Amino acid sequence: MRMNGEVHFVEETALDRRLIRILLPAAVLLIEALAASLFLDGETLRQRDSVLGHFIAQWGAWIVRGIIGFAALFATFGYLRHRVTLVRIAMEASTTPIHRPLLALHGVSIAIFAALSTALYSRTIEWLSFDMLAILWALSAVAATASAVFAVAPYRHWADLVASTGLLWLQAMVASAAACVAGAMSWALWPPATRLTYSLVKLFLSPFVTDMQVQPERMRIGTSRFAVAIAPECSGLEGAGLLIVFAIVWMILFRHEVRFPHSLILVPAGVLILFFLNSARIATLILIGNAGARDVAVGGFHSQAGWIAFNSVAFGLAVAARRLPWFSVDQRAHQLQHGSAEMENPTAAYLLPFLAIIAAGMISQAMSGGFEWVYSLRLFAALITLWLLRRSYSSVDWRCGWLGVAIGIAVFALWIAMEPLVKPTAERIGMPAALASASALVQACWIVLRTLGAVVAAPVAEELAFRGFAMRRLMGSHFEEISYLRVHSVAIAISSVLFGLMHGDRWLAGTMAGVMYAFAAKRSGRLGDAVLAHATTNALLAGYVLATGTWHLW
């Protein structure tokens, strides 16, 4: 069995690298499209006396979204339906070297596109008509796209891909166009959704409030002591859209474990539940503010209750899809079919401690006003989860050595050195006023629990999630069998970026820290060294905060 597992791992790793080769141009073009969207403002083209200018302003962004959507849908469903074909084409393409002249042409085309974009949007070229400038601008974008695609794989491979997948290209095109049309039309749903949310909030409040004050024309509702205005963004549509995306991605990833079309009913059911929970959230916010806890209402509860509701519904959908017989397939039969007699899901053991910390953090912040007194909920949530799952970690190598300490110190030095890039004028404001006004015993208990959470709970939970799971899962589906010694740079980079994004404004420092923690695991072949490195960094950071008064680092 072990030898079969090793062969499966080697083949899957090689396949992942070949698929990365095919998907590389899509990733590059996506990054370039996002960069263009940040700097090009279509509203400036509406001022031009040109039909072509108005067309670009009105439909340019939607055309780009449609192309990206088409590529994403074609790649996703192509992998699901025609995996054998993709493997064959990927293997053939991987034997062909990257076409360097076309790669150079892509760079030149991007430079021309950037120059023409500046001229088109600022009108700095007077000797060329606007329409001609717009045509050249569009042609440069087409040239950049085509050169990137054909530099990675010759035309014959792409033609073979289209021919071998039948009408998938047409289906992906229609689906992408439909998604763009639905996106454009969704703006019309904001007003009725807001009015419906307003009515539900009024209904939820009526049994608890006697002096309700309403202003339907302003979407304002509340009491004489506390009231809110329901903005379109608070109508629940964004949460519903996010839940639909989550459900689709989840069903794709776990398609072998759920029944179709039975499980599709979970999507509208989840949207309805989330919509009602959003209205209940707003009503509860008003009740909290009316009770006198204004800071809690407009601070922690307002920002966190929506995420708590979303995560609760998403988790409920995932559990229902896997546990209820009407939605799920026979798990035992599926696992036996794939040659596994092990009924436990290793993914849960690696992710649940981290998810427990996130859930506890949301609850803690929702209960807080100006200061998060119950921050220690994170510590207890992680410790309880780790204890309940302790038998699942028998195969984890927790051993560690001097390498972890050395890397932890290096990450701490890097973190402090990069802090001026995040907050150049940050002042040492000292202990928060709420904590400073408490008794010495309360201060000591809070600081001790906060430090234990940073040094004990966070390193174990986050390393299990990002290095133990994410980094190795990018190598193959049987991630628990993959040695840390074999992880490649792509898996390290992607998992480190995800780790960095979790740190908000300090995403760059977080990404670099993730790379260094991954190096600790890869160098020693043990997760324990990454955990020790992480714990060392956090311990030094806690000492630095307490010694210097730079509490903004916490």
Show the 3-state SS of 138-201: HHHHHHHHHHHHHHHCCHHHHHHHHHHCCCHHHHHHHHHHHHHHHHHHHHHHHHHHHHHHHHHH
CB-CB neighbours of 403 under 10 Å: 18
> Which DSSP letter does residue 250 get?
H
Given a cut of 70, is residue 170 above it in pLDDT?
yes
Give the per-residue pLDDT at 533: 96
Q: Which helix (H) or strand (E) holds 214?
A: strand 213-215
Q: How many residues does the chain have?
A: 554
3-state DSSP helix/strand/coil % of the chain, to nearest 5: 80, 0, 20
Q: pLDDT digits over 51-77, tens only? A: 777 777 766 777 777 777 787 777 767
Given a cut of 50, is residue 236 above it in pLDDT?
yes
Q: Sign of torsion, CA 161 162 166 167?
A: positive
> What span, in angstroms and rounded, lies between the C-alpha atoms of 531 and 174?
48
Give the per-residue pLDDT at 300: 59
Give the per-residue pLDDT at 12: 46
Q: Identify the weakest region by mean pLDDT among 18-22, 426-430, 465-469, 499-503.
A: 18-22
Residue (of 525, 528, 359, 360) closest to 460 by Cα position:
528
Residue pair 222/283 in contact by the 8 Å Cβ criterion? no
Between these two residues, 281 and 537, which has the higher pLDDT value? 537
Residue pair 517/467 in contact by the 8 Å Cβ criterion? yes
> What span, in angstroms and rounded, lies between the C-alpha atoms of 379 and 356?
9
Give the per-residue pLDDT at 425: 58
Provide the residue ranges of all domains of the chain, joining segments of one domain with +. Answer: 2-166, 188-343
Q: Identify the weakest region by mean pLDDT among 217-231, 343-357, 507-521.
A: 343-357
Between these two residues, 196 and 330, which has the higher pLDDT value? 196
Q: pLDDT digits over 349-358, tens only? A: 898 899 888 8
3-class state of residue 222 by DSSP: strand
Residue pair 401/524 in contact by the 8 Å Cβ criterion? yes
Q: Supply the mean pLDDT for the chain.
A: 79
Residue-by-residue DSSP string for 295-350:
HHIIIIIHHHHHHHHHHHHHHHHHHHHHHSTTTB--HHHHHHHTT----S-HHHHH
Q: Please, how many CA atoms are within 13 Å of residue 206, restricted to the half-sphere of its CB?
A: 7
Q: What is the mean predicted confidence (pLDDT) over 442-470?
A: 93
Residue-by-residue DSSP string for 395-409:
TS-----HHHHHHHH
Q: Please, how many CA atoms are within 13 Å of residue 232, restricted to the half-sphere of its CB?
A: 7
Please give the order of strands across the beta sheet that includes 213-215: 213-215, 220-222, 227-229
Q: Which pTM was predicted?
A: 0.55
Given a cut of 50, is residue 232 above it in pLDDT?
yes
Could you tell me where the beta strands, DSSP code E, fall in 16-90?
A: none
Give the per-residue pLDDT at 336: 43
Give the per-residue pLDDT at 405: 95
Give the per-residue pLDDT at 338: 45
Between these two residues, 419 and 5, which has the higher pLDDT value? 419
Given a cut of 50, is residue 129 above it in pLDDT?
yes
Q: Report residue 54 as tokens.
A: 């108005």
Give the per-residue pLDDT at 147: 87
Given a cut of 60, is residue 372 above it in pLDDT?
yes
Give the per-residue pLDDT at 539: 95
Q: What is the mean predicted confidence (pLDDT) over 546-550?
A: 86
Give the per-residue pLDDT at 162: 85
Between these two residues, 295 and 162, which has the higher pLDDT value? 162
> What span, in angstroms and rounded, lies between the C-alpha atoms of 521 and 483?
10
Q: Is the bond leading into 261 cis (omega within 30 degrees of zero)?
A: yes
Q: Which residues pair with 229 in a beta bridge?
A: 220
Q: Sign of torsion, CA 517 518 523 527?
A: positive
Question: 467: pLDDT confidence band, cut at 50, 70 and 90?
Answer: very high
Amino acid (1-letter code) at residue 375? Y
Question: 1: pLDDT confidence band, cut at 50, 70 and 90?
Answer: very low
Given a cut of 60, is residue 269 above it in pLDDT?
yes
Give the per-residue pLDDT at 86: 74
